[in-house]
Amino acid sequence: MSDLLDDLYQAVYEMDEDSAVDLTNEALDEGMDPEVLLNDALIPAMDEVGKLYEDGERYVPEMLLSAEAMKGSMKILRPLLAESGVEPTGVVVLGTVEGDLHDIGMNLVGMMLEGGGFEVINLGPETPAEKFVEAVKENDANLLGMSALLTTTMTHMPEVIEALEEEGVRDQVEVAIGGAPVSQDFADEIGADGYAADAASATDLFKKFAE
Protein backbone atom coordinates (compact mmCIF):
# COMPACT_ATOMS: atom_id res chain seq x y z
CA MET A 1 0.00 0.00 0.00
CA SER A 2 2.64 2.48 0.96
CA ASP A 3 4.30 1.87 -2.39
CA LEU A 4 1.36 3.57 -4.02
CA LEU A 5 1.75 6.50 -1.65
CA ASP A 6 5.42 6.77 -2.53
CA ASP A 7 4.60 6.58 -6.21
CA LEU A 8 1.97 9.31 -5.93
CA TYR A 9 4.42 11.47 -4.01
CA GLN A 10 6.96 10.87 -6.78
CA ALA A 11 4.45 11.67 -9.53
CA VAL A 12 3.81 15.13 -8.07
CA TYR A 13 7.47 15.61 -7.29
CA GLU A 14 8.42 14.55 -10.82
CA MET A 15 5.74 16.77 -12.40
CA ASP A 16 3.86 13.88 -14.00
CA GLU A 17 0.13 14.66 -14.07
CA ASP A 18 -0.92 11.52 -15.96
CA SER A 19 0.77 9.24 -13.44
CA ALA A 20 -0.67 11.25 -10.55
CA VAL A 21 -4.19 10.72 -11.90
CA ASP A 22 -3.64 7.02 -12.61
CA LEU A 23 -2.08 6.37 -9.23
CA THR A 24 -4.86 8.22 -7.43
CA ASN A 25 -7.48 6.04 -9.14
CA GLU A 26 -5.45 2.92 -8.46
CA ALA A 27 -5.06 3.76 -4.79
CA LEU A 28 -8.76 4.45 -4.41
CA ASP A 29 -9.57 1.13 -6.13
CA GLU A 30 -7.44 -0.60 -3.55
CA GLY A 31 -9.55 1.02 -0.87
CA MET A 32 -7.11 3.64 0.35
CA ASP A 33 -8.42 6.61 2.27
CA PRO A 34 -8.55 9.85 0.22
CA GLU A 35 -7.40 11.79 3.27
CA VAL A 36 -4.30 9.63 3.53
CA LEU A 37 -3.48 10.26 -0.11
CA LEU A 38 -3.79 14.00 0.48
CA ASN A 39 -1.89 14.18 3.75
CA ASP A 40 0.79 11.57 3.16
CA ALA A 41 1.52 12.00 -0.54
CA LEU A 42 0.24 15.20 -2.15
CA ILE A 43 0.90 17.71 0.62
CA PRO A 44 4.41 16.47 1.48
CA ALA A 45 5.32 16.37 -2.24
CA MET A 46 4.20 19.97 -2.85
CA ASP A 47 5.88 20.98 0.38
CA GLU A 48 9.17 19.56 -0.86
CA VAL A 49 8.75 21.16 -4.28
CA GLY A 50 8.03 24.50 -2.58
CA LYS A 51 11.24 24.17 -0.58
CA LEU A 52 13.24 23.43 -3.72
CA TYR A 53 11.72 26.51 -5.37
CA GLU A 54 12.63 28.63 -2.39
CA ASP A 55 16.20 27.36 -2.53
CA GLY A 56 16.45 28.19 -6.22
CA GLU A 57 16.70 24.55 -7.26
CA ARG A 58 13.36 24.48 -9.04
CA TYR A 59 11.86 27.19 -11.23
CA VAL A 60 8.45 28.58 -12.12
CA PRO A 61 7.67 26.23 -15.03
CA GLU A 62 8.49 23.23 -12.85
CA MET A 63 6.35 24.54 -9.99
CA LEU A 64 3.47 24.91 -12.44
CA LEU A 65 3.84 21.32 -13.63
CA SER A 66 3.97 19.88 -10.11
CA ALA A 67 0.90 21.93 -9.22
CA GLU A 68 -0.88 20.57 -12.30
CA ALA A 69 -0.09 17.02 -11.17
CA MET A 70 -1.45 17.75 -7.71
CA LYS A 71 -4.55 19.38 -9.19
CA GLY A 72 -5.20 16.36 -11.38
CA SER A 73 -5.22 14.17 -8.30
CA MET A 74 -7.24 16.64 -6.22
CA LYS A 75 -9.95 16.78 -8.87
CA ILE A 76 -10.66 13.15 -8.07
CA LEU A 77 -10.12 13.41 -4.32
CA ARG A 78 -11.97 16.64 -3.53
CA PRO A 79 -15.54 15.33 -3.91
CA LEU A 80 -14.63 12.24 -1.88
CA LEU A 81 -13.05 14.36 0.83
CA ALA A 82 -16.10 16.60 0.96
CA GLU A 83 -18.37 13.55 1.22
CA SER A 84 -16.49 12.21 4.19
CA GLY A 85 -16.57 15.61 5.84
CA VAL A 86 -12.87 16.41 5.60
CA GLU A 87 -12.48 20.16 5.81
CA PRO A 88 -9.76 22.01 3.91
CA THR A 89 -7.03 23.64 5.99
CA GLY A 90 -8.69 26.93 5.17
CA VAL A 91 -10.64 28.66 2.42
CA VAL A 92 -8.61 31.40 0.77
CA VAL A 93 -9.79 34.06 -1.63
CA LEU A 94 -6.88 35.37 -3.70
CA GLY A 95 -6.62 38.18 -6.21
CA THR A 96 -4.51 40.97 -7.63
CA VAL A 97 -6.15 44.32 -6.94
CA GLU A 98 -8.00 46.47 -9.43
CA GLY A 99 -5.89 47.78 -12.31
CA ASP A 100 -3.01 45.42 -11.60
CA LEU A 101 -2.23 42.72 -14.14
CA HIS A 102 0.69 41.08 -12.39
CA ASP A 103 -0.54 37.71 -11.23
CA ILE A 104 2.43 35.35 -11.44
CA GLY A 105 3.46 35.78 -7.81
CA MET A 106 -0.11 35.44 -6.65
CA ASN A 107 -0.58 32.28 -8.72
CA LEU A 108 2.50 30.81 -7.05
CA VAL A 109 0.97 31.58 -3.66
CA GLY A 110 -2.24 29.90 -4.81
CA MET A 111 -0.40 26.78 -5.91
CA MET A 112 1.57 26.49 -2.72
CA LEU A 113 -1.61 26.94 -0.68
CA GLU A 114 -3.40 24.23 -2.65
CA GLY A 115 -0.37 22.10 -2.02
CA GLY A 116 -0.86 22.82 1.66
CA GLY A 117 -4.42 21.52 1.65
CA PHE A 118 -6.20 24.87 1.37
CA GLU A 119 -9.18 25.46 -0.86
CA VAL A 120 -8.16 28.34 -3.09
CA ILE A 121 -10.51 30.67 -4.93
CA ASN A 122 -8.23 32.52 -7.32
CA LEU A 123 -9.97 35.60 -8.70
CA GLY A 124 -7.05 36.40 -10.98
CA PRO A 125 -5.67 39.79 -11.95
CA GLU A 126 -7.52 43.11 -11.80
CA THR A 127 -10.02 42.17 -9.12
CA PRO A 128 -12.32 44.99 -7.97
CA ALA A 129 -13.10 45.30 -4.24
CA GLU A 130 -16.69 44.10 -4.62
CA LYS A 131 -15.51 40.87 -6.30
CA PHE A 132 -13.35 40.08 -3.28
CA VAL A 133 -16.31 40.62 -0.97
CA GLU A 134 -18.61 38.55 -3.16
CA ALA A 135 -16.17 35.64 -3.24
CA VAL A 136 -15.67 35.75 0.54
CA LYS A 137 -19.43 35.56 1.08
CA GLU A 138 -20.13 32.93 -1.56
CA ASN A 139 -17.39 30.57 -0.42
CA ASP A 140 -17.62 31.35 3.26
CA ALA A 141 -13.88 32.06 3.15
CA ASN A 142 -11.85 32.63 6.29
CA LEU A 143 -8.73 33.95 4.56
CA LEU A 144 -8.07 36.62 1.95
CA GLY A 145 -4.84 37.40 0.14
CA MET A 146 -4.34 40.29 -2.24
CA SER A 147 -1.33 41.49 -4.13
CA ALA A 148 -0.29 44.65 -5.94
CA LEU A 149 2.88 45.05 -7.96
CA LEU A 150 2.56 48.75 -8.68
CA THR A 151 2.64 51.83 -6.51
CA THR A 152 -0.35 53.07 -8.46
CA THR A 153 -2.46 50.02 -7.64
CA MET A 154 -1.49 49.33 -4.03
CA THR A 155 -3.83 52.21 -3.17
CA HIS A 156 -6.74 49.88 -3.97
CA MET A 157 -5.87 47.61 -1.04
CA PRO A 158 -7.49 49.74 1.66
CA GLU A 159 -10.62 49.87 -0.53
CA VAL A 160 -10.93 46.09 -0.32
CA ILE A 161 -10.65 46.19 3.46
CA GLU A 162 -13.23 48.98 3.65
CA ALA A 163 -15.59 47.01 1.41
CA LEU A 164 -15.24 43.97 3.69
CA GLU A 165 -16.13 46.18 6.65
CA GLU A 166 -19.09 47.76 4.92
CA GLU A 167 -20.49 44.36 4.00
CA GLY A 168 -20.01 43.08 7.52
CA VAL A 169 -17.57 40.28 6.70
CA ARG A 170 -14.30 41.86 7.87
CA ASP A 171 -14.30 39.82 11.10
CA GLN A 172 -14.77 36.57 9.23
CA VAL A 173 -11.47 36.78 7.29
CA GLU A 174 -7.82 37.28 8.05
CA VAL A 175 -6.35 39.52 5.37
CA ALA A 176 -2.78 39.25 4.09
CA ILE A 177 -1.12 41.44 1.48
CA GLY A 178 1.92 41.02 -0.74
CA GLY A 179 3.75 42.45 -3.73
CA ALA A 180 6.90 44.44 -4.43
CA PRO A 181 5.78 47.93 -3.33
CA VAL A 182 3.97 46.92 -0.12
CA SER A 183 5.45 46.28 3.30
CA GLN A 184 4.60 45.34 6.87
CA ASP A 185 4.25 49.08 7.58
CA PHE A 186 1.75 49.44 4.78
CA ALA A 187 -0.16 46.39 6.04
CA ASP A 188 -0.38 47.97 9.50
CA GLU A 189 -1.38 51.30 8.05
CA ILE A 190 -4.33 49.94 6.10
CA GLY A 191 -5.42 47.50 8.79
CA ALA A 192 -4.46 44.22 7.12
CA ASP A 193 -3.69 41.27 9.37
CA GLY A 194 -0.39 40.36 7.79
CA TYR A 195 2.22 40.86 5.10
CA ALA A 196 4.34 38.31 3.25
CA ALA A 197 7.43 39.06 1.18
CA ASP A 198 7.31 35.96 -1.02
CA ALA A 199 5.23 32.93 -1.92
CA ALA A 200 6.76 30.68 0.71
CA SER A 201 6.25 33.10 3.59
CA ALA A 202 2.71 33.77 2.35
CA THR A 203 1.96 30.09 2.71
CA ASP A 204 3.44 30.03 6.21
CA LEU A 205 1.43 33.11 7.14
CA PHE A 206 -1.85 31.57 5.98
CA LYS A 207 -1.02 28.35 7.81
CA LYS A 208 -0.53 30.37 10.98
CA PHE A 209 -3.81 32.18 10.43
CA ALA A 210 -5.61 28.86 9.88
CA GLU A 211 -4.39 27.29 13.11
Partner 1 sequence: MFLTIGELINSTRDEVKQALKEKDEELIRKLAREQAEAGADVIDLNAGESMEDEKDDMDWLIDLVEDEVDDVRICVDTPDPEVLEFGLEKVENRPVINSISNEEDKAKAREVASEYDADIIGLAMGEEGMPETVEDRLNETEALVKKCEKLGIDTDNLYMDVIAMTIGSNQEQGQYVIDSVREIKENFDVKTNIGLSNMSFGLPDRGLINRTVFAMLLEAGLDAALIDPTDKPMMDTLKAAEALLGEDQNCLNYLKYKRSG
Question: Least separation, in Å, of the C-beta of 127 and partner 1?
Answer: 11
Show the DSSP H helices in 30-103 as ranges.
34-37, 43-54, 60-83
Q: Could you give the CA distance from residue 88 to residue 144 in angstroms, rounded to a whole number? A: 15
Show the site string, 109-148: x = touches partner 1 by CB under 8 A, - = not.
Answer: ----------------xx----------------------
Q: Does 56 bind partner 1 (CB under 8 A)?
A: yes
Q: Does 101 bind partner 1 (CB under 8 A)?
A: yes
Q: How far lies 34's CA from each of 5, 76, 123, 185, in Å?
A: 11, 9, 27, 42
Q: Of 165-184, which residues contact partner 1 (CB under 8 A)?
A: 180-181
Question: Least separation, in Å, of the C-beta of 151 and partner 1?
Answer: 5
Which position among 1, 18, 36, 60 is part of the footprint of partner 1 (CB under 8 A)? 60
Q: What letter would DSSP give residue 38?
A: I
Nearer to partner 1, 59 or 75 (CB): 59
Q: Using alpha carbons only, what angle is made at residue 69 by residues 63 and 70, rounded to the nearest 5 degrees?
A: 90
Nearer to partner 1, 17 or 174 (CB): 17
Number of residues that bind partner 1 (CB under 8 A): 17
Q: Which conformational region is residue 154 in: left (phi greater than 0), alpha (psi within -120 to 50 degrees), or beta?
A: alpha
Q: Using alpha carbons only, what angle is made at residue 103 by residues 86 and 140, rounded to the nearest 5 degrees?
A: 30
Q: Does 88 bind partner 1 (CB under 8 A)?
A: no
Residue 102 in contact with residue 153, Cβ under 8 Å?
no
Give the residues lining the site for partner 1 (CB under 8 A).
Answer: 56, 59-61, 63-64, 101, 104, 107, 125-126, 150-152, 155, 180-181
